[in-house]
Amino acid sequence: MAGSGGELPPICILAGGLGTRLGAISAKVPKALVEVAGRPFVFHQLELLAANGARRVVICVGHLGELIQSSVGTARYGLEIAYSCDAPGLEGTLGAIRRALPLLGERFLYLYGDTYLRVDYREANAAWVRSGAPALMCVLHNAGRWGASNAAFDGRLVTAYDKEHPSADMDYIDYGLGGLSAEAIKLAPGARDLASLHHRLAADSALCGYEATERFYEIGTPEALAETGEFLVALGHPGAKEGAPWR
């Protein structure tokens, strides 16, 4: 059964952002389709997810979303791909997820459309299942290396999370891969963004943590885009290699 820890539940990719930090690069092309290492970035993401056992992906689209749908289609790398279109007004990340719930079901993983995350997705999901918690956050021991640390992690739970006002004792950062149940979403009915929900869940000891060990790559800024491109070129063939499910 999906969600048992072996087979992955559906995965939501949040790809509806405007990509304003990329400037002219994303003026006519959504971030998901920005070329990185010779092909649209979303293709790298989808190949990596398929290599890690994903079977169904739901892409939340907004800005220039029709271009993503026409370029990616409904099947790629053995994945079944569906789309959820954001409302005309900005609903925030949690609003986009709420809109996609009919396609996602009771339990799903999610990641952002500008991140490349080398983590064991099956083990992260299995840890979440074992925890019995309504939500999951993958974290990375950061100590200020990649932006401000925003989470405290005790080896089992994310015990505190604050993206806007992190405290000095937070030395982990939200890695960008998480999991939500419909139950978890109901705990913050007025929240628009995932950050608000995570803050509430952590305070209620309801946020399972899973520690990633490989740094994340992303394409949110021109500098990050160049760095990620260099990494993927050096990697040669993005996706899994035998014995290394996160590559």
Q: Give Cα separations from 66 to 43, 54, 120, 236, 243 (angstroms).
A: 16, 23, 31, 30, 37
> Model-level pTM?
0.91
Residue range 141-156, pLDDT digits in tens: 998 788 889 999 999 9
pLDDT in tens, 161-174: 998 898 988 999 99
pLDDT at 70 over 50: yes
Q: Where exactly are the structural domains of the chain?
A: 1-117+216-240, 119-215
Res 238: pLDDT = 46
From 3.40.50.970, 3.90.550.10, 2.60.120.10, 3.30.70.260, which CATH number describes the 1-117+216-240 domain?
3.90.550.10
73-101: buried (b, 16+ CB within 10 Å) or exposed (e) per residue? eeebeebebbbbbbeeeebbbbbbbbbbb
What pLDDT was estimated at residue 236? 80
Residue with the bigger pLDDT between 42 and 244: it is 42
Q: Which class is 119-215 in CATH?
A: alpha beta
1-117+216-240 and 119-215 in the same fold: yes
